[in-house]
Amino acid sequence: MPPRKSKTPRRSASHSDISGTSRTNGDVPHRFKTKADFKTDWSTVDTSNFSGFSIRYDSHIRHDKKPNAAKKRKLEEPEDEDKDENGNPLQRNPFEGTSLPDTRYTVKPTQMWEDTSRYRKFTIQNETFTVNDLVFIKASEDQDPDPDSPIQGWVAKVLEVRAGDEQHVYLRIYWMYRPEDLPMGRQPYHGKNELIASNSMQIIDATTVQAKAFVKHWVEQDNKGEVLDGDQMFWRQTLDVSKDTKKGGYLSELTKHCIDETPCNPDRLLIQCSRCDRWLHGACVEKDAVRNAYKSH
């Protein structure tokens, strides 16, 4: 899936002017510039000449296991970042019960990213958000394929919070896609408020966050007879962007039901046959009843 453009541009940043001291006269030795000399001075950032941070996927690790006024931010320190055996960034699959791989990745520009500090929380207009929260992101009108979608705006899972200072806060996120955002579009089995969890990673500005999103993980085998509340957002399927990238990613398989062998729509009723224990689509049962009634007359 291509990177998304959020409504509010990402905060820009530029390397500060470095005026290192180099002397050769007398007995004063030449001072080599240290890492501190090149550290980004966030008080001098310029929003006009930095296009934002980008993600490079280095590799994906699969496991042989089954799915298991100005906007100011207040920040709190986090736990250590996940690393691989070589000390490189590693994002573990945050969606429990799924087979999405762990991902080794690199952030570009790397030095500027490393010049930020990591936090567990951030606050925008008196609302506090934490790592692992699901949040609404303001969509860019020119990139929203369906502004009339039942779910307005975009939804993302916060993986990491980074800040140069209170005015420059960035979020590393995984996108939660709406059916309308996928190459194949909305299908008959998609619920009105359904989202698809993905490992499509991006870095966005924290000021694009609008509110918390309350999304339920709907585990179908436990809830076949359950009809979700009308406004309950949920996800049950994943999109692995490391597979079939030409098609936009690989969608996990859903359980198929009924004589037509199609997934269920959670907004609609499933009926269990008392004779064979098979789950049937309510609409299919209704059609069959009408057909039988017509034949009997």
Look up the CATH number of the domain holding residue 216.
2.30.30.490
pLDDT tens digit sequence for 31-55? 444 455 578 887 777 766 777 899 9
Is residue 191 in some structural domain? Answer: yes
**pLDDT of 21 higher than 60:** no
Task: Kindly state whether residues 162 and 260 are assigned to the same domain.
Answer: no
225's tokens: 């007879």
Please calculate the CA angle 175-87-11 and round it to the nearest 5 degrees. 45
Phi/psi for 38 (5° steps) reads -100, 5
**pLDDT of 128 higher than 90:** yes
Q: Are 190 and 266 in contact (CB under 8 A)?
A: no
pLDDT tens digit sequence for 159-215? 999 999 888 899 999 999 999 999 889 998 899 999 999 999 999 999 999 999 999
**pLDDT of 105 higher than 80:** yes
Task: Kindly state whether residues 238 and 260 are assigned to the same domain.
Answer: no
Task: Kindly state whether residues 94 and 219 are assigned to the same domain.
Answer: yes
Q: Which of 50-54, 74-78, 80-84 has the lowest mean pLDDT?
A: 74-78
Phi/psi for 61 (5° steps) reads -110, 115
Domain limits at 262? 255-297
Give residue 227's pLDDT. 64
Is residue 3 in some structural domain? Answer: no
Task: Kindly state whether residues 101 and 244 are assigned to the same domain.
Answer: yes
Is residue 166 in some structural domain? Answer: yes
Is residue 20 in some structural domain? Answer: no
Q: Is 277 left (phi over 0), alpha (psi -120 to 50) or beta?
A: left
Query: Taking every pair of C-alpha atoms in the chain, what is the biggest distance, in angstroms?
Result: 113
Is residue 12 in some structural domain? Answer: no
Task: Kindly state whether residues 234 and 100 are assigned to the same domain.
Answer: yes
Q: Quote the pTM value.
A: 0.77
Q: Are 208 and 8 in contact (CB under 8 A)?
A: yes
Report the distance separating Cα 174 and Cα 216, nearest Å.
16
Please calculate the CA angle 156-157-163 and round it to the nearest 5 degrees. 95
CATH of the domain at 273: 3.30.40.10
Q: Which residue has the tokens 């009926």?
A: 271
Task: Kindly state whether residues 158 and 204 are assigned to the same domain.
Answer: yes
Task: Kindly state whether residues 179 and 273 are assigned to the same domain.
Answer: no
Q: Which residue has the tokens 């999405």?
A: 100
259 burial class (0-12, 13-18, 19+ CB within 10 angstroms)?
A: exposed
CA 95 and chain centroid, separation: 11
Task: Kindly state whether residues 218 and 290 are assigned to the same domain.
Answer: no
Q: Which residue has the tokens 């499933």?
A: 270
Q: For residue 11, what is the DSSP state?
A: P
pLDDT-derived band of residue 10, with 50, 70 and 90 as boundaries?
Answer: very low
246's tokens: 């030409």
pLDDT-derived band of residue 1, with 50, 70 and 90 as boundaries?
Answer: low
Task: Kindly state whether residues 66 and 194 are assigned to the same domain.
Answer: yes
Give residue 260's pLDDT. 65
Q: How far apart are the first and last CA of the chain?
A: 53
Q: Are 278 and 258 in contact (CB under 8 A)?
A: yes
Q: Give which of 162, 203, 156 is closest to 175, Cα–Cα.
A: 156
Q: Which of 25-34, 110-119, 263-272, 277-286 has the lowest mean pLDDT?
A: 25-34
Task: Kindly state whether residues 231 and 274 are assigned to the same domain.
Answer: no
Q: Which of 10-24, 157-171, 252-266 has the lowest mean pLDDT?
A: 10-24
Task: Kindly state whether residues 243 and 184 are assigned to the same domain.
Answer: yes
Report the 3 state secondary structure along 18-40. Answer: CCCCCCCCCCCCCCCCCHHHHCC
Give residue 74's pLDDT. 58
Task: Kindly state whether residues 290 and 247 are assigned to the same domain.
Answer: no
Q: Give which of 138, 109, 143 is closest to 124, Cα–Cα.
A: 138
Q: Give which of 220, 216, 217, 215 is closest to 266, Cα–Cα.
A: 220
Residue 1 neighbours by CB distance under 10 Å: 16
Report the distance separating Cα 148 and Cα 232, nearest Å.
18
125 burial class (0-12, 13-18, 19+ CB within 10 angstroms)?
A: exposed
How many domains are contained in the chain?
A: 2
